[in-house]
Structure 1
Amino acid sequence: MTGKTLPHAQKTTSFALALLSGISFVAIAAPPAQALTLMDMLRGKRESIQEQVENRSTTVSPATQRQADRSDPEPLPKISGPRYYTYKTDPMRQVKTGAFAAATATDATRFLAQAKVSAPADVAEAVEAYYGKNGTPLFVENGDVNERAHAVLAILAKAGEYGLDPADYRLDVPMLTTASVTDDAAKPAVADAAIDAVPAATSPADAAAATVAPASPAEQHDKDLMQFELALSAKAVLFAQDMARGRIDPNRISGYHDLKRRTVNLATVLPFVGTAPDAGAYLASLAPTSPQFLALKAELDRLRAESKTAETEVRIPEALVLKPGNQSEDLSSVISAIQKRGSETLKTEYAATFASYQHTPDYAPELVDLVKGFQKEVGLKADGVIGPATLRAMAGHSDQSKMDKLVVAMEQAKWLPDDLGSRYVLINQPAYRVYYHDHGQEQFSMRIVVGSKSNQTYFFQDEIQTVELNPYWGVPQSIIVNEMLPKLRKDPNYLDRLGYQVEVGGKAVASSSVNWYGSTQSIAVRQPPSSDNALGELKILFPNAHAIYMHDTPSKSFFQRDMRALSHGCVRLAEPRKMAAAVLGISEQEVGTKIAQGKNLAMTVPQKIPVYVAYFTAWPNKDGKVEFFDDVYGRDEAVVKALQATSKARGA
């Protein structure tokens, strides 16, 4: 099924910009106790020598044996995941001025038709629509730039505060010179003299040609003003669009991005700029107003202010490994780093430990407790062992790195609705956590496992519709081809032995009867409900084109790891019953009772709940404090490249 995109909310103000607008099969016998299941393989378990001997001696049909004995077997196919693209920017074109109402004017506005300005096509269309109906300039009055223009220029200069690049909107203001004023007074006489000098016998065309002369200082100033008028109009519309939906189209970044780009009613921008009491304030009002975006903006402002008085960074060795009871001369740096990076709550709780520490190399019990407290605070396993993950958390991200992450996050926040809803689920892949919100507040969050770098989880939004208890696992074609097929070509009984169900063209068959050298497109494989099922005891579905959902897992140990990009792309939940109960509106006990019945059961979610499968390396927690995460897939880098390409295309 194709994933759905929720409609974007509209925000209305006095001068607001209108935005956005389980298939059943016949069961096959369960695998023998000694069989190596797919889950065993996923956990890294290997067959014993005895099991290998037993598996090799499995009886196969003559046809199967001939198939396996081919001296020149067909090469194994491979299903590859999506790729990252070279970003293609919005095409630029010149604003068409021929139909402007000002083209027939006799004053300075007649030069508006001669202005040459390039802009993205939709921005150019909005500018053309406005000046095609209204020849009155917005930003020029009485031969000079007006206050409205200065107000717009002032907000464009602050573009960086909204995560934008001020260079995209920079524009020079024409200067009014004494020569222009003096020449302007003499201009009518010069024009009359030129007309009188034309011989009466000349044709109209010759007469027009005879009056062409180098532009006087006053005329050149008028031309500069009209060039500025049109350019600032285009910049204002572009700024409005960037504020509302971001600068780049996420779907051009990679095949892992699947987000419908917001549509913005650009036709309303210039009319509102012309009528708003404060044009700059109107443009500023188009920025997202969600608590998340405002928290990101405030953090960016704070870091930029603090970067002017940068502190000396605490240096700790990258290769340090320290266990309770060990000694290290670097321990004092570790304690200093915790004191710098830890929260005020942590510092208060362990104030006595900080005060009593004498900078000795002994990793004593009280220091172990301090480290455990820090680990728990930053979401790491609180075991007191100081290793690479703990050191990274202590060292933290540099201020510049944080600011870069914030700019990317502010861009990405504009790809989602400004109002995420009063009830929704947010999956943040770099944080390895999922958050459940209800009544406008975060109710709980939990650890998750997301796709590995070679099987990345997508960035998209959808709606939760169903919770399936005691689920079947429909094996994706990528796993059938990439992981199962090599084994099936050696042993066509492989899936039969493991208890998987195989269907060809809608008919249940034994895996040993399938030609595993042909196409697998018509072959369906699924694993029946069991304690060893890859999906555990439940899955939570939000049908989408990427076959991604949330589910339980028998591999509970994965949740103890700090780096949890380990799955084939779906999202594994540390507390699946808790999430299922929340979206169904029932108790965990009731969920458990139904699971205990052992029957496959699909339960419809009473009210469809938005789910945002997102990717933010900077995102505020429930208290509004922005947290920073590692870029596990390297997507921030891809976004930065797209932003740079966009600015370059715009001529910044």
Structure 2
Amino acid sequence: MLMLLLGLAPLAWAEQGEAARAWEDEPGVVGELARQAASEGARIQDFYALRDYRPAWQDADAVAAFTSALHTLESDGLHPQDYRPDELRSRHRAVYDDGADVEAQAQYDLFATRQLLMALDHLQRGKVDPEALETGWEVPVAPPDYSFAAVSGAVDQQRFEALIGEVRPDFVPYQRLRSGLARYRNIEKLGGWPRLPEREQALRPGDVDEDVPLLRERLAVIGELEIMMADNDIFPGGEFEAPDPRRYDASLEAAVKRFQRRHLLEADGIVGRQTLAALNVPVERRIDQIRLNMERARWLLHGLPESFVLVDIAGYRLNYYRPDGQIWRSRIVVGRPYRRTPSLRSEITHLTVNPTWTIPPTIKREDVLPKVRQDLGYLWRERIQVLSPSGAPLDPWEIDWDNPGNIVLRQAPGPQNALGQLVIRFPNEHMVYLHDTPAQDLFSREQRAFSSGCIRVENIRELGQLLFDDTNSGHDVERRIEGGETQNVRLAHRMPIIIHYWTVNPGDDGELSFRPDIYERDDALLRALDRPLTL
């Protein structure tokens, strides 16, 4: 097994330079490689210094094995042509079959190594730079984690597929996405699925309709429904009658509900406008969705700690992976499309019980002030205090609400507080957090993008107590809330938290759920993922 996770510490710059200068005096391609490598980046220099500047790509069989292995990257949603397999083969022939000089041989060797390392980097950490693509990105991008010793050995032994297999992300969600990609590509090869015609009337259980056989076929293609003969109806005379294939029966209703749940639609069994639109998304689009969410997984799901909180924005779910291996799950409400919840990676430091809420400037300007201008009593009903920037109380009747100036609006603690009675906090530049809410009815919706960027968590008191218990903090959430005092209570140990955006999610059963792209991020990522690389 290749020891790719050991890593190779870069050579000190001075030592590296001395080594390169020593090899520059060597005759032939070794000396030329040392000379040319000196103008490359540190990683290329490290690779060749490890090999004592011995060329890696003189053997045509090694090039053939590498270019063949590049095609396995299709299973990861990457484009093998990005890494120039055709040019690798043609340039090798030109350099070695035609007897090119050592300068050209060294240039080719460096070119081939750049393609290899770039392919491995993209496979492990992603091709697209998320910071250049998503505004508000606050996740440190980890460097690739594999050793050049293992890479060098794989080149010499022509074990490229094994090398790719070792570098490939090994976390379960990624492997499930990869399996799903293979499955949906097979569906594409078999012709995809049928498109249902547009309808003025929704298709409901019990209907007899010409579109029902097509609906049955559509769901059978993805495995939601097995095509089989339903039980024959027995009539008093003992005669049997075959079921009408146009009838929307109970088995089809159950399949439609499963489909709706996997697409975050209301699971009512009615094929209305939204369900019909989801059914008619072509398989090619679903394949692209899987590919771009594999890229998101490569950005983020590496170096995961044993225990952490994972917030799935587009899926409206929170999972807490506890130290004992159990998973605590909850529904969440996330930011509206115009007040997006950011992607970030941080650590939970403390909880606030019975919080006050200092209303943020945007919410104050766009939501609260228009209501106050219409009815000053809104402040009393919502228990909102008016304060100066230094915190001194102000008389609301003396404020010019058309031009209130630099005032602070703060909601008093209590069950009606917008943050509820508990907040879970973690440092981040966006000032978002997990919190309770008095608007519990929103958790019953299938799609829950209603907040101003922070994340409302159903049953957050239970989560807070688990965090205290699992970090040996020794606090009782309910007792502190009942005390009525606003308090910040620190965890004894920080708990990692990851907040991210997936529009495809593999379930525990391996089946894929496709979510609406509420923040309209998919298309930009797909364009970047499919954009050919340039030298």
TM-score by length of 2: 0.79
> SS at the partner of 2:111?
helix
Map of 1:275 onto structure 2: 153
Paired residue type of 1:448: I
Pair 1:549-2:428 in alignment: no
Residues in 1 aligned to 2:415 and 2:526: alpha-carbon distance in whole angstroms? 44
Cross-structure match for 1:641: 527
Distance 1:114 1:530, change over 3 A: closer
Summarize the Cα distance change of 1:290–1:319 in structure 2 as closer, same or farther, 3 Å threshold.
farther
Residue 272 of structure 2 corresponds to residue 391 of structure 1: no
- What is the one-letter code of the residue matched to 1:14? M
**2:198 maps to what in 1?**
317
Question: Is 1:125 aligned to residue 42 of structure 2?
Answer: yes
Structure 1 counterpart of 2:466, from 582, 594, 597: 582
Alignment-derived partner of residue 227 in structure 1: 107
Question: Which residue of structure 2 lines up, in the alignment, with residue 529 of structure 1?
Answer: 413
Tell me the equivalent position of 2:13: none
Partner of 2:88: 172
CA contact (8 A) 1:169 1:235 kept: yes
Q: 1:106 to 1:465 in 2, by over 3 A?
A: closer
**SS of residue matched to 1:508:** coil
SS at match of 1:533: coil
CA drift at 1:454: 0.5
Aligned partner of 1:299 in structure 2 is 180
- What's 2:28 paired with? 107
**1:574 corresponds to which letter in structure 2?**
E
How far residue 245 of structure 1 moved from its aligned partner, in angstroms, is 1.8
What is the CA distance between 1:536 and its match in structure 2? 2.6
Moved more, 610-619 or 330-339: 330-339
Secondary structure of the residue aligned to 1:507 is: coil
Q: Which amino acid aligns with 2:44?
A: V
Matched, 1:135 2:16: no
Cα distance, 1:457 vs. partner?
0.7
Alpha-carbon distance change, 551 to 20 in structure 1, aligned in 2, over 3 angstroms: farther
Partner residue in 1 for 2:237: none
1:132-531 pair list within 5 angstroms: 134-140=52-58, 145-170=59-84, 171-174=87-90, 217-219=98-100, 224-264=104-144, 268-269=147-148, 271-276=149-154, 277-280=157-160, 281-317=162-198, 320-322=201-203, 329-341=210-222, 343=224, 357-360=243-246, 371-372=256-257, 375=260, 380-393=265-278, 395=279, 397-439=281-323, 441=325, 443-486=327-370, 495=379, 498-510=382-394, 511-514=396-399, 523-531=407-415
Residue number in structure 2 paired with 1:572:
456
Contact 1:540 1:549 in 2 (8 A): yes
Distance 2:258 2:201 in 1: 19
Secondary structure of the residue aligned to 2:319 is strand
Q: Structure 1 stretch 483-492 or stretch 231-240: which is displaced more?
A: 483-492
Q: Counterpart of 2:202 in structure 1: which amino acid?
A: V
Residues 157, 166 of structure 1: 8 Å contact kept:
yes
Q: Which amino acid aligns with 1:461?
A: R
Deviation readout 1:570-628 (Å, 9 max, x if unpaired): 12223333433433339xxx755654554445444454322211111122223333322
The CA RMSD over aligned residues, in Å, is: 4.1
CA distance in 2, matches of 1:349, 1:438: 43
Q: What do residues 475-498 of structure 1 show as CA deviations (whole Å, max 9, x unaligned)?
A: 112111233344556777864564
SS at 2:338's partner residue? coil
Distance 1:542 1:20 in 2: 32
**CA shift in 2, pair 1:159/1:557, >3 Å:** same
Instruction: Label 1:365 to 1:244 Cα distance change in 2 as closer, same or farther (>3 A).
Output: closer
Cα distance in 2 for partners of 1:457, 1:313 equals 36
Change (3 A) 1:230 1:100: farther
Deviation, 1:500, is 0.6
Aligned position for 1:616: 502
Letter aligned with residue 262 of structure 1: A
> Quick check: 1:155–1:284 contact (8 Å CA) kept in 2?
no
Q: Is the 8 A contact 1:452 1:568 kept in 2?
A: yes
Matched residues, number: 508
**Secondary structure, counterpart of 1:435 in structure 2:** strand
Counterpart code for 1:275 = G
Q: Which amino acid aligns with 1:308?
A: K
Q: What's the CA shift string for 1:102-145, capped at 9, x where partnerless?
A: 6555435566589899xxx9x733224555783321111xxxx2
Is contact 1:500-1:525 (8 Å) kept? yes
SS in 2 for 1:449: strand
CA spacing shift, 1:336–1:585, aligned 2, 3 Å: farther
Indicate conservation of the 8 Å contact 1:101/1:132, yes or no.
no
In structure 1, C-alpha distance between the alignment counterparts of 2:222 and 2:413, rounded to whole Å: 46
DSSP 3-state at the match of 1:425: strand
Specify whether residues 311 and 322 from structure 1 end up closer, same or farther in structure 2 by C-alpha distance, changes over 3 A only. closer
Structure with greater Cα Rg: 1
The 2-side partners of 1:592 and 1:351 are apart by 53
**TM-score with structure 1 length normalisation?**
0.67
Q: Identity percentage over the alignment?
A: 26
Letter in 2 for 1:107: G
1:289/1:327 CA distance change after superposition, 3 Å: same
**Shift in Å, 1:294:** 1.5
Q: Could you tell me which runs of 5 or more consecutive residues in structure 1 were left unpaired when the two chains were aligned.
A: 1-11, 22-95, 182-216
In structure 1, distance between residues paired with 2:49 and 2:262? 59
Q: Name the CA distance, whole Å, in 1 between partners of 2:354 and 2:182.
A: 49
Relative distance call for 1:374 and 1:594 in structure 2 (3 A) is farther
1:404 alignment partner, SS class: helix
Q: Secondary structure at the match of 1:255?
A: coil
- Is the contact between residue 257 and residue 269 of structure 2 (CA under 8 Å) also seen in structure 1? yes
CA contact (8 A) 1:290 1:419 kept: no
- For 1:513 and 1:403, the matched residues in 2 are separated by 60
Cα offset, 1:531, TM superposition: 3.3
Cα distance in 2 between the residues matched to 1:591 and 1:180? 72
Give the Å deviation of 1:427.
Answer: 1.5
Preserved contact between residue 310 and residue 497 of structure 2 (Cα < 8 Å): yes
Segments of structure 2 that go 5 or more residues without pairing to the other structure are: 11-16, 234-240, 471-475
* Greater relative contact order, per chain length (Cα 8 Å cut-off, separation 6+): 1
Counterpart CA distance in 2 for 1:177 and 1:565 is 57
What is the CA distance between 1:290 and its match in structure 2? 0.9
